[in-house]
Structure 1
Amino acid sequence: VGAPTDVGGIDSSLPIVLFAVIFGLSMDYEIFLLSRVQEAHLAGMDTPQAVRYALERTAGVITSAALIMIIAFSAFVFGQVVANKTIGLGLAFAVLLDATLVRLVLVPAVLVLAGRWNWWLPEPLRRVMPKVSLEP
């Protein structure tokens, strides 16, 4: 990243900052994908159909949003501040992995493999959880 050779290491706060931002961004993509899976399942589709439906609806949006974030974070690499360069490179790489490998491959695969267990809720929780619907 163009760091001077006498720096000696990375700032100890950088991994914490990277983790916090990456976690927030990945949850955004995750909620977007899983809400579409749940919508499709509640509409009567089985789990593989619901996952396929959700991927068809969200893959383009997730990929586009990730591409925008990767471009924005990659711009930090061309600055002069070493900490910003490191954060930019780390975030760009993490968003690339998250949007391609995790959200569009691993999560759908785990959902399909889990099948009906995705929708299992223990009876004590089922009794106390409120019935919430996004549609009237």
Structure 2
Amino acid sequence: MDPVLAEVESKMKAVIQNLYNLIVQGVDHQGPATQEAMKQEITRLVENLLSLSQSAPSVRFDIPPEVTEYVERARNPKIYTRELVEATQRMNQLLKGRCDAYAQMRDILAKDIVLAMPELENDVRKVVRSTGGSIDG
């Protein structure tokens, strides 16, 4: 992993931990002692956020605009990923069907060429074999 990315990740984890600690302290509030602990936690949170904001711009990665649009429309980017995978699977199935159809057409055409022009049989067999087909079956 890129050291800069690892540093940013660790700072984000620290921010998340600060927020979690504040939630726990808020739920289990016990008076002045908790208030002091929360003040210290908020101080650490601000420090971690400042540190994160200083180092985060050095991380470079591209987010597809479609994902950004999904997030801006308050949609889960995992939905985008799922829809993209499903669309890719459909396209792969379509392309596989086309490849199979062209392969069948190649084999049938090769058989017909050999029947019509037997003198080309060796050449046709070479071409069909080199493209992964068979005219014997």
Q: Which has the larger radius of gyration?
A: 2
Q: TM-score, normalised by structure 1?
A: 0.31
Higher relative contact order (CA 8 A, sep 6+): 1
